[in-house]
Amino acid sequence: MVHSTHFQRHTRLSTVNGRVSKRPRGPREQRRSAKKSEVTRALIAEKHAILLEELKLAPTTIGAAAAKFAAFVEVEKLADQLDTPLVDRLIASEVRFADSYRVIATKKQEPGQKGKPVVTAIVSLTVGADANWQLVKEREGIILAKGPEEEREEEEQPPIKNYACLDAPMEDAPKKEKSSLGRRIYGCITQRNGCFIQVRLTCKANILDSFKELPLQLYVDINTTAQENQLEAIARVAEKQFIQKKLGFEVASLPKAASAPSRSRSPSIVCLDDEMDGKQSSFASSSSSSIICLDDLPEQPPKPSTFMADLNDEQKRAIEEIKREDTNNVFMLFGPPGTGKTHTLVKAVAELVRLGDRVLICTPSNKAADHIACGLLNEGLGKGTDDALYRHVSRTLDASLVPAQLRSHAGIESNGDELRFATDEIDLDDYAIVISTLGSTPSLRKLYTESDEKFDYIIVDEAGQAAEMEVWMPMAFFACRRTRLIVAGDPMQLGPVASVHLLDDPAYGYKTSILSRLYQNEAFRSDSQNMVQLTKNYRSHEAIVNVVSQVFYNDTLEFTRPAGHDSLDDWHRLPQSQFPVFFENVYGRVQTDRNGSSSNEAEANAVVFYIESLLRSRRVKAHEIGVVSPYTAQTQLIRHLLGPSSEVTVDTVEKFQGSERRVIIMTAVRNGTALGFMEDRQRLNTALSRAQQLLIVIGHGRSLEALPDWFKFIDYCKANNAYVDASDIADSRMY
């Protein structure tokens, strides 16, 4: 069963007096994490015409990519503002200074800088009885605002991110396009005791005095930390040419220059997850890149180390190319489903550490970061000082969600039944391996000083699931001239998930990952030093491998007949014995719920029938079965039909990415001409390739055959006598 981490990750103020404490967020806040749909093309065209032009830019150079990525961030910020209107963020309408304030820090002014200095102060405030503390999280931002006569000064206020806002009433204020708030100060709540609160504010020194006698209003501010971090990373990449050369925007088919000089080596590896922590804009020019293509591999590759004895030739070749000191060219490890990509990366990291390199590994999710981190530990790394491993985890994450094997490497201590993060400071110089999500890379900077050496390698695993601007973050914050970028994943599977519906439009290119961009470049793809594609599938039955290979990978995949691959070849429900793949044609009524998600009861009943048949055969256990649908409403319907005690995993395609099951049953749901998600070939590939020993697909054949990839799959089933019609087998369901 897949459990959400939403309630563990977020905390807010409790209503008890005294020090600010944490408690789980309730269902009301779930809407904050939902995809935002208010930003439309028409809205941007009307009010943000320049932004629309930047969204349309073709990212063929670093400069164009930087402008486009910055536009993505601005759209996300705009969506946040529309998703949480000011009226919904009001904490208290009656707020005043309780007494004077205490300055605790003054920002040093540059020589020749005019105006009052920026200070950070502690202020006590009285709050009216109408205060809605349910809206507030610990240390959440506030805004302190006064009337429109101060708007000229407002332009001078420094932007302070991730704070709340106190706002003065504006009854006579003219409407402004940028904001309905007047003069404001940003800060955060640090303590509450009844109707008194203590806040920390940052502003120019003279502003606090002008606010002391005003009636104020307290609002929750929109958290823009992640967006500001991303913009900062974009700006850094746009300014640093040595980073630009490593991203593969300029790929020539000419012979490469000689390798860069050997790097200074010091033991340490770092792996980062893929959360989102940063943003900022700028432009620049570009550079070169690199990937390796199997057909162009030399006949006699370099002799591998003995530790690679359990690897196939492609995996060995990939590791040799990763080790090559070509710091100005990105290398891409193309790993289709079940081809041992993670195993190859683990072996590569082990070899790099043995050579004394420092490695930073980043992924788009905690799940992917944990997976490769556990693989490294299982390989024997992380036991000594020369190969020490640190799994960087956000302190807002519930420590119990971190795998037990990794907790000691993530600074998590056990005190009886209680798990907690250690208070000891982490020094990255103590670790050979650091693992974190992409989104957590900005917070990792707190553990790094300017004197620390950067990393020899930055490896981004599952890079196809991240927006390219997210890959820029570890490069912006941790790359130096000797750093080499390695990206790994599969551009043929599901790509990045946009938080704003507008960015789902392929015309804007948000879902074009760095893997997709590089793979689409023939000059890059055809260079044997740029990309290695793994082709031997160690996961699935040959009937499953063959159809996935034919439809999505130009017939390049090879089956290996792993242990147990034929265990269900003689299941009595197979239309064709020894061929554990089939399509059942079902025409059912499609229903749409109030959230716009679709369900199909006829298909859901067919799914439940096959699950019950498999369980009755006692050849498959419930937890070995996975049901995949592109629609949440369909997964909810099937879970309801199976009952709350069922151990069958029923989820969307996105949730299944990176997973596998002995049996996969896919329900397409939609029929007719409006096929929705079914038109997405990456989604179809991801769903089909999860199966190990049995693949059942249920849908309306005539509708789906209108789509090229679906036509190939259904034709494959028909050619192997593995296409059945529900009406023809209705009697057999009286089992």
- Give pLDDT tens digits for 158-177: 443 333 344 433 333 333 33
Where residue 719 falls among pLDDT bands split at 50, 70, 90? very high
Range with the largest mean pLDDT of 105-114, 383-392, 658-667: 658-667
Comparing 402 with 35, the larger pLDDT belongs to 402
Helix or strand or coil: residue 201? strand
| Percentage with pLDDT > 70 across the chain | 78
| Amino acid 281: pLDDT | 37
Residue 166: C-alpha distances to residues 137, 185, 188, 566 (Å): 15, 7, 10, 66
Q: pLDDT class for 340, splitting at 50, 70, 90?
A: very high
Using alpha carbons, list the distances in angstroms from residue 46 to 41, 49, 52, 385: 9, 6, 10, 58
Q: Is the pLDDT of residue 509 over 80?
A: yes
pLDDT bin (cut points 50, 70, 90) of residue 208 is confident
> Global pTM?
0.76
Contact 275/395 with Cβ under 8 angstroms? no
Which of the two residues, 617 and 106, has the higher pLDDT score?
617
Q: Summarize pLDDT for 107-118 with one digit per residue, the tens.
A: 776 676 667 788
For 90, residues 6+ apart whose C-beta sits below 8 A from its C-beta are 132, 135, 217, 218, 219
Per-residue pLDDT at 147? 42
Side-chain-side CA neighbours of 360 within 13 Å: the count stands at 33
Given a cut of 60, is residue 257 above it in pLDDT?
Answer: no
> What's the pLDDT at 252?
56
For 542-728, the fitting CATH number among 3.40.50.300, 3.40.50.620, 1.10.340.70, 3.40.640.10 is 3.40.50.300
Helices (H), 652-695: 653-656, 681-688
What is the pLDDT, as a whole number, of residue 270? 44
Q: Exposed e or buried b for every residue in 529-563, given b needs 16+ CB within 10 A?
A: bbbbbbbbbbbbbbbbbbbbbbbbbeeebebeeee
Confidence check: pLDDT of 80 > 60:
yes
Whether 313-534 and 542-728 share one fold: the answer is: yes
Most confident of 288-302, 405-419, 570-584: 570-584
Strands 118-127 and 196-204: antiparallel
Predicted confidence (pLDDT) at residue 437 exceeds the cutoff of 90: yes
Contact present, 443 and 278 (Cβ < 8 Å) = no
Buried b (16+ CB within 10 A) or exposed e, 207-228: bbeebeebebbbbbbbbbbbbb
- Which amino acid is present at 733? R
| Most confident among 193-202, 397-406, 532-541 (mean pLDDT) | 532-541
The Cα angle at residue 241 between residues 238 and 242, in degrees rounded to 5: 125
Which has more confidence, 529 or 39? 529
Q: Return left, alpha or beta for 349; rule: phi > 0 is left, psi -120 to 50 is alpha, else beta.
A: alpha
Whether 295 shows a pLDDT value over 60: the answer reads: no
Q: Classify strands 581-585 and 723-725 as parallel, antiparallel or unpaired.
A: parallel
Q: How far apart are CA 375 and CA 659, in angstroms?
A: 15
**Is residue 733 very low, low, confident or very high in pLDDT (cuts 50, 70, 90)?**
low
Q: What is the pLDDT of residue 390?
A: 94
Cβ-contact 211, 91 below 8 angstroms: no
**What beta strand segments (E) does 402-465 contain?**
412-415, 418-421, 433-437, 457-460
At 181 the pLDDT is 52
Please report, for the chain, how many H helices and E strands are present, in that order.
Answer: 22, 32
- Hey, is 198 helix, strand or coil? strand
Which of 735, 684, 725, 688 shows the shortest CA–CA distance to 707?
684
Higher pLDDT among residues 150 and 557, named by residue: 557
Residue spans of alpha helices (H) in 421-579: 441-444, 468-478, 514-520, 522-525, 542-552
Q: Judge contact between 97 and 124, C-beta under 8 A.
A: yes
Percent of the chain with pLDDT over 90: 50
The DSSP letter of residue 220 is B
Cα of 668 vs its chain's centroid, Å: 25
- State yes or no: pLDDT of 18 exceeds 70: no
Residue 45 has pLDDT above 50, yes or no: yes
Lowest mean pLDDT among 184-198, 319-333, 385-399, 468-482: 184-198
Task: Render pLDDT for 354-373 as a digit per residue (tens, 0 to 9).
Answer: 999 999 999 999 999 999 99
The Cα–Cα gap between 250 and 458 comes to: 20
Please state, rounded to an integer, the average pLDDT across all residues of the chain.
81
What is the pLDDT, as a whole number, of residue 140?
A: 58
Position 15 scores a pLDDT of: 33
Q: Per mean pLDDT, which range of 49-63, 125-139, 171-185, 210-224 is the poorest?
A: 171-185
CB burial of 504-513 (b: ≥16 within 10 Å; e: otherwise) equals eeeebbbbbb
CA distance 450 to 624: 49
Distance of alpha carbon 367 from alpha carbon 381, whole angstroms: 19
**Whole-number pLDDT of residue 109:** 67
Domain extent listing, the chain:
81-110+119-145, 184-205+215-237, 313-534, 542-728
Phi, psi (rounded to 5 degrees) for 610: -70, -35
Query: In this structure, are residues 388 and 380 in contact, taking their beta carbons and an 8 Å threshold?
Result: no
Confidence category of residue 144, pLDDT binned at 50, 70, 90: low
Q: Tell me: pLDDT of 157 over 80.
A: no
Is 60 exceeded by the pLDDT of residue 467? yes
More confident residue, 447 or 378: 378
CA distance 638 to 666: 12
Number of Cα atoms under 13 Å in the Cβ half of residue 243: 26
Check if CATH label 3.40.50.150 holds for domain 313-534.
no
**Rounded Cα gap, residues 545 and 538, in angstroms:** 10
- The sign of the CA dihedral 568, 573, 577, 582 is negative
Q: What is the pLDDT of residues 631-641, one digit of tens each?
A: 999 999 999 99
Strand partners, 84: none
